[in-house]
Amino acid sequence: MRAYLRTFGCRANQYDTEAARAMIEAAGGVIVGSPDDADVALFNSCAVTSAAEADLRQAVRRAAKDNAGIRSVVIGCASARDDGTIAALPGVSDVIAGADLSALAMALGIDPSLARLRPTLQTGSRALLRIQDGCDEHCTFCSTTLARGANRSRPVDELVREAGALASEHPEIVITGVHIGSYGTECGSSLGVLLGRLVDEVPRVRFRLSSVEATEVDAVLGELLTSDPARVAPHLHAPLQSGSDRVLKRMGRHWYSARGYARAAWELAGRSSTFALGADVITGFPGETDDDHAATMAMVRALPFTYLHVFPYSARPGTAAERLDAQLPAARSRDRAAELRALADEKAAAYRVSRVGGTADVVVVGDGVRREGLTEDYLAVALEDGSMARRSRFEGRLSLAAEGRLIARVN
């Protein structure tokens, strides 16, 4: 079997693709870089936005057009919500909900026992460790919960073993999932307890959390995020979505207020001058007024954000938000997103300048001309020594390069 793999969406999806790759290779398959050279194409889909689903459909059609004999299998979130549209695409033989690797193995004619394999060497410079799947919250805009189901945590011992294997090949492990802050709630554990075990039992490697609600950072997790940046990256990506309590209520995000978010963010980021604080923000949510948008702008301006991911609202089939009144024109959502991104760019630039002359713990990522460094506080930096090996790690000093970019040299 010659298989082409393509992933859309989040790091949880990327992890699932890595697991599929390990399974296919263990069965004697070969991973190829183009659908033109493949017998089978595996597309791991995303349902977060309509654009992500459109990109999936375009990729599947292009693969069938360029390789008339290819067979396409679609997994992931969009496949779990398929109304027959994906199944009807040219070349598609199987549509598998979520990341059911056993079902994928059967579809590909692979021994299902191989679905339990996990790679010790992933394709990325940084490894991914998915600790749970699903989400118990019901944000009105989100189709991921509908696609992935309830929270399900993986056993701690299993995760420690997998992380230990990954640490032998990767300098950083990114802890990911659909809602990692809920890890362990169904079995009396927590994300902080898991991270503490990983730090204690898996030496040398740097751990990074992917996305955690600000109000889910308890004392244990907060201490880990700020006490030893060589072991746990001082980085919190905490979804904000809106700075307006009225909009948060319409979004179904009942567990925090704008003020509560700000208090939690300052409590953590205020402990150190070297701390990455990022957030997701949705603009143009149904009913969002000019005052609501202004509240979000004011909150972003006031908090020590070092970057933002901004998304114009995208209605998703089957979600409660699709039925809300006061749907906004797409152009207004895009304009508000552009305004927020411009503010985020200003704050990111100011933070980069504040790091000039400082030291950084740098992991070398990327290939060829795209090779660069990633600091503990999530800054992409140029490398003074471009010959440094991918997946290497060093302590560097930061200086300002062209166009405001930072450059790292070995200390």
pTM of the model: 0.95
Contacts of 331 (CB under 8 A, 6+ apart): none
Pairing label, strands 92-95, 71-76: parallel
Dist CA 118 CA 110 (whole Å): 15
Is there a contact between 143 and 316 (Cβ–Cβ < 8 Å)? Answer: yes
Could you read off the pLDDT tens digit of each residue along the chain, which spans 411 residues?
Answer: 999 999 999 999 999 999 999 999 999 999 999 999 999 999 999 999 889 999 999 999 999 999 999 999 999 999 999 999 999 999 999 999 988 999 999 999 999 999 999 989 999 999 999 999 999 999 999 988 888 889 999 999 999 999 999 999 999 999 999 999 999 999 889 999 999 999 999 999 999 999 999 999 999 999 999 999 999 999 999 999 999 999 999 999 999 999 999 999 999 999 999 999 999 999 999 999 999 999 999 999 999 999 999 999 999 999 999 999 999 999 999 999 999 999 999 999 999 999 999 999 999 999 888 899 999 999 999 999 989 999 999 999 999 987 889 999 999
Residue among 316, 383, 308, 295 nearest 338 (CA):
308
Q: Between the CA of residue 380 and those of 57, 268, 408, what are the distances in Å?
A: 31, 22, 10
Q: What is the pLDDT of residues 196-241, one digit of tens each?
A: 999 999 999 999 999 999 999 999 999 999 999 999 999 999 999 9
Categorise residue 306: left if φ over 0, alpha if ψ from -120 to 50, beta otherwise.
alpha
Q: What is the pLDDT of residues 153-194, one digit of tens each?
A: 999 999 999 999 999 999 999 999 999 999 999 988 999 999
CA angle 320, 324, 329 (to 5 degrees): 120
In this prediction, residue 401 carries a pLDDT of 86
Q: From residue 251, how far is each of 131, 197, 222 by CA, in Å? A: 26, 35, 27
Can you list the domains of the chain with their CATH numbers? 2-116 (3.40.50.12160), 127-354 (3.80.30.20), 359-410 (2.40.50)
Tokens of 405: 């970019």
